[in-house]
Amino acid sequence: SRGSVIPFFMNMAKGGKLPITDKRMTRFNITLNEGVSFVIDCLSRMRGGELFIPKIPSYRILDVAKAVAPNATIEYVGIRPGEKIHEEMITETDSLNTIEFSNYYVILPAIPFWDFEEFRKESDKKPGSFCEFGFSYSSGNNSHFLSVDDLKNLISTEINA
């Protein structure tokens, strides 16, 4: 990640105008503390070669703009080269080798050098289940989105931390 859009928006809001690349844009949100805790937890669960993906909320870029500067003018500037409308953490292709647990997903390694079934049963409070073919996990199809009020609270908490 290049960093959060929030400090950028806070700075731009001083001029009364926020540049938005695309009104459909979404992103995942994880705080630094949540990220560190997730990594530490995964270190105790990992067997080798797998990828852990946290279940985290998404936000809409326009909601961040409303949370940071509700009275600012929005200027649509277009998507930059390489930029995506939504972040995608699990692709449809990866879904074939993905196990869903209560708070995270695990993409299994291509070479099975440890027991995947044992891992599925023992890696969480309850056994994980294999994702169905065609499943994908992106910031756009996420079931948990932060509201404008959620974003205001998060921004306030993180700035004062």
What does the pLDDT look like over 15-31, one tens digit per residue? 999 999 999 999 999 98
The model's pTM is 0.88
Pairing of strands 17-20, 88-90: unpaired
The answer to whether residue 3 scores a pLDDT higher than 70 is no
Q: Give me 20's structure tokens.
A: 């938005």
What's residue 32's pLDDT?
A: 87
Concatenating the DSSP letter of every residue in 120-131 gives HHHSSSS--EEP
Q: b or e along 65-102 (b: 16 or more beta carbons within 10 Å of the residue's beta carbon)?
A: bbbbbeebeeeeeeeeeeeebbbbbbeeebbebbbbbe
With residue 6 as reference, give the H or E element that holds it. Answer: helix 5-13
Range among 7-11, 25-29, 119-123 with highest mean pLDDT value: 25-29
**Residue 112's pLDDT is what?**
86
Predicted confidence (pLDDT) at residue 132 exceeds the cutoff of 90: yes
Q: Using CA atoms, how far apart are residues 127 and 124, in angstroms rounded to an integer? A: 6
